[in-house]
A = this chain, B = another copy of it.
Amino acid sequence: MKLGIATVCLSGTLDDKLAAVAAAGFDGVEIFENDLVVSPWSPKGIRDRCADLGLTIDLYQPFRDFEAVPPDVLAANLRRAEHKFDVMAELGADTMLVCSSVSRDAVDDDDLAAEQLHLLADRAAERGIRIAYEALAWGRFVNTYDHSWRIVRRADHPALGLCLDSFHVLSRGSDPAGIRVIPGEKLFFLQLADAPRLRMDVLQWSRHHRLFPGQGAFDLPEFVRLVLGTGYAGPLSLEVFNDVFRQADPNRTAVDALRSLLVLREEVGLGDLPAAPPLDGYAFAEVVSRDAEETVAALGFRRTGDDVWRQGGAALRLRAGDDTRIATVGVVSTSPDDSRRRAESLLARPLPGGAVAAPDGTALAFEAGLPPVVEDGLLTGIDHVSLSAPFDDVDQTALFYRAVLGLRPEPEAEFAAPFGLVRSRSAIDAGGRVRVAHNVAMLRRGDWAPAVPDPQHIAFTTPDALAAADAMRAAGAKLLEIGDNYYDDLDARLAPPRLDDLRASSILYDRDDDGEYLHFYTHILGGRVFFEIVQRIGGYAGYGAVNSPVRMAAHRRLRLGAVPS
* Chain B: minimal CB distance from A395 (Å): 14
The yes or no answer to A243 lying at the interface (CB within 8 A) is yes
0/1 interface trace, chain A 546-562, chain B, CB 8 Å (1 if under): 00011011101100000
**Residue in A12, A49, A208, A247 whose Cβ sees the most chain B Cβ within 10 Å:** A247
Q: Give residues of chain A (160-215) contacting chain B, Cβ–Cβ below 8 Å.
A: 198-201, 204, 208
Contacting pair B248 A15 (CB below 8 A): no
Copies, count: 2
The yes or no answer to A412 lying at the interface (CB within 8 A) is no
Residues of B near A246 (CB, < 8 A) are: 416, 419-421
Contacting pair A485 B36 (CB below 8 A): yes
Residues of B near A304 (CB, < 8 A) are: none
Contacting pair B488 A83 (CB below 8 A): yes
Residues of B near A249 (CB, < 8 A) are: 446-448
Contacting pair B247 A445 (CB below 8 A): yes
Contacting pair B45 A564 (CB below 8 A): yes
Q: How large is the interface on A (under 10, 10 to 19, 20 to 34, 35 or more residues)?
A: 35 or more
How long is the Cα–Cα vector from A117 to B544 in the complex, in angstroms?
Answer: 32
Contacting pair A247 B13 (CB below 8 A): no
Contacting pair B38 A549 (CB below 8 A): yes
A448: nearest residue on chain B (CB-CB)? B249
Residues of B near A550 (CB, < 8 A) are: 37-38
- One of B43, B199, B443 near A247 (C-beta < 8 A): B443
* Chain B: minimal CB distance from A404 (Å): 24
How long is the Cα–Cα vector from A491 to B199 in the complex, in angstroms?
Answer: 39
How long is the Cα–Cα vector from A378 to B354 in the complex, in angstroms?
Answer: 69
The yes or no answer to A392 lying at the interface (CB within 8 A) is yes
Known: A79-B492, A421-B246, A448-B11. A483 touches B200 (CB 8 A): no
Known: A45-B564, A485-B39, A485-B42. A390 touches B421 (CB 8 A): no
Residues of B near A420 (CB, < 8 A) are: 11, 243, 246-247
* Chain B: minimal CB distance from A440 (Å): 12
Residues of B near A446 (CB, < 8 A) are: 247-249, 390, 392, 444
Q: Give residues of chain A (407-454) contacting chain B, Cβ–Cβ below 8 Å.
A: 416, 418-421, 441-449
- One of B418, B443, B552, B556 near A243 (C-beta < 8 A): B443
* Chain B: minimal CB distance from A216 (Å): 16
Contacting pair B491 A83 (CB below 8 A): yes
Contacting pair B40 A557 (CB below 8 A): yes
Residues of B near A565 (CB, < 8 A) are: 41-42, 44-45, 48-49
How long is the Cα–Cα vector from A447 to B445 in the complex, in angstroms?
Answer: 13
Known: A12-B419, A492-B79. A37 touches B248 (CB 8 A): no
Residues of B near A511 (CB, < 8 A) are: none
* Chain B: minimal CB distance from A271 (Å): 30
How long is the Cα–Cα vector from A246 to B421 in the complex, in angstroms?
Answer: 7
How long is the Cα–Cα vector from A488 to B493 in the complex, in angstroms?
Answer: 67
A45: nearest residue on chain B (CB-CB)? B565
Known: A83-B488, A201-B199, A442-B243. A13 touches B448 (CB 8 A): no
- One of B45, B80, B390, B484 near A42 (C-beta < 8 A): B484
How long is the Cα–Cα vector from A37 to B546 in the complex, in angstroms?
Answer: 12
* Chain B: minimal CB distance from A561 (Å): 12
**Residue in A11, A86, A390 whose Cβ sees the most chain B Cβ within 10 Å:** A11
How long is the Cα–Cα vector from A361 to B379 in the complex, in angstroms?
Answer: 54
Contacting pair B553 A419 (CB below 8 A): no
Contacting pair A247 B200 (CB below 8 A): no
How long is the Cα–Cα vector from A556 to B390 in the complex, in angstroms?
Answer: 25
Give me 20 A-to-B residue pairs in the complex whose CB atoms sit less than 8 angstroms apart, sorted by A's number: A8-B416, A11-B418, A12-B419, A37-B485, A37-B486, A40-B485, A41-B563, A42-B485, A48-B565, A49-B564, A80-B493, A83-B491, A198-B201, A198-B204, A199-B200, A243-B420, A246-B416, A247-B446, A248-B448, A249-B448
